[in-house]
Amino acid sequence: MSLKSKAPLHDEQSKRDHRQLRIDKVGVRGLRFPIEIGDKERVTQNTVATIGMFVDLPHEFKGTHMSRFIEVLNAHGNIVHVENITDILFAMQKKLHAATAHLEMEFPYFMTKRAPVTGGESLMDYTARFEAAASGKEIDFVLTVIVPVTTLCPCSKAISQYGAHNQRGSVTVQIRSSKSIWIEDLIAIVESSASSELYSLLKRLDEKAVTERAYENPVFVEDLVRNVAEKLNAHPDVTWYKVEAENYESIHNHNAYACIEKG
pLDDT tens digits in sequence order for the chain, 263 residues long: 555 556 666 555 666 666 778 888 999 999 999 999 988 887 889 999 999 999 998 767 777 888 999 999 999 888 888 889 999 999 999 999 999 999 999 999 999 999 999 999 999 999 999 999 999 999 999 999 999 999 999 999 999 999 899 999 999 999 999 999 999 999 999 999 999 999 999 999 999 999 999 999 999 999 999 999 999 999 999 999 999 999 999 999 999 999 999 97
Could you tell me if residue 15 is inside a domain?
A: no
Q: Rounded to an integer, what distance in angstroms lies between the CA atom of residue 49 and that of residue 153?
A: 35
Between helix 66-75 and helix 85-95 the angle, nearest 10°, is 140
Q: Rounded to an integer, what distance in angstroms lies between the CA atom of residue 3 and that of residue 18?
A: 33
Could you tell me if residue 9 is inside a domain?
A: no
Could you tell me if residue 4 is inside a domain?
A: no
Could you tell me if residue 14 is inside a domain?
A: no
Could you tell me if residue 95 is inside a domain?
A: yes
Q: Which of 107, 104, 197 is nearest to 147 (CA)?
A: 197
Please tell me the pTM assigned to this model. 0.89
Total domain count for the chain?
A: 1
Q: How many CB atoms lie within 10 A of CB 124?
A: 18
Q: Are 257 and 245 in contact (CB under 8 A)?
A: yes
Domain span at 125? 21-262
Could you tell me if residue 102 is inside a domain?
A: yes
CATH of the domain at 255: 3.10.270.10
